[in-house]
């Protein structure tokens, strides 16, 4: 959901904020409704998290790219095609986590931490070496350097 943040600037620079604002309010209402409904169905806070994920993903993955393409007079598939590798990688990650859980391999906080690192580190490597372009990796390095150098010692 953070991937759409850069394209929000298109809406702002063209002063086209009414439709996104109304949709954000609507997505918030859907978020609340789904969270309340699913909080009764799913254990712990999972229902609330899923309600939020569904509402935000629908708004950010479906509406925002289409609306920005509309503002620019471009084809929306210009944005949707770029999301395919990320969606596929995320779906694979979810499927693996689901399979581990259903196999009974996630039994407590320690196993959650171990599996999270065991799955997460290769996923980060996949994203870094396969999904990001050279320019994106360099931008990330520059941002990380700037962040590390601006940190003040405690």
Helix axes 64-72, 18-41, angle to 10 degrees: 170
Residue 17 has pLDDT above 80, yes or no: no
Q: Cα separation of 25 and 31, whole Å?
A: 10
Q: Tell me what pLDDT residue 135 has.
A: 93
104: left (phi over 0), alpha (psi -120 to 50) or beta: left
Q: Tell me what pLDDT residue 152 has.
A: 62
Q: Tell me what pLDDT residue 134 has.
A: 93
Give me 111's structure tokens.
């196993």
Between the CA of residue 132 and those of 79, 84, 88, 124, 129, what are the distances in Å? 15, 13, 14, 10, 6
CB 63 within 8 A of CB 4: no
Q: Cα separation of 130 and 54, whole Å?
A: 26
Q: Tell me what pLDDT residue 3 has.
A: 59
CB 98 within 8 A of CB 140: no
| pLDDT tens digits along 33-89 | 999 999 888 877 888 988 998 998 888 888 888 888 888 888 989 888 888 888 888
Size of the chain in residues = 154
């Amino acid at each position: 959901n953070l991937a759409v943040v850069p394209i929000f600037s298109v809406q702002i620079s063209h002063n086209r904020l009414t439709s996104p604002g109304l949709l954000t309010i609507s997505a918030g209402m859907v978020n609340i409704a789904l969270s309340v409904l699913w909080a009764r169905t799913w254990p712990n806070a999972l229902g609330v998290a899923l309600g939020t994920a569904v509402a935000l993903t629908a708004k950010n993955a479906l509406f925002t790219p289409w609306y920005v393409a509309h503002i620019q007079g471009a084809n929306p598939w210009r944005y949707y095609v770029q999301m395919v590798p990320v969606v596929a990688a995320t779906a694979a990650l979810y499927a693996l986590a689901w399979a581990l859980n259903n196999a009974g391999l996630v039994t407590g906080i320690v196993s959650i931490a171990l599996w999270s690192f065991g799955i997460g580190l290769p996923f980060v490597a996949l994203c870094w070496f396969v999904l990001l372009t050279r320019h994106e990796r360099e931008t990330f390095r520059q941002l990380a350097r700037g962040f590390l150098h601006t940190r003040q010692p405690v």
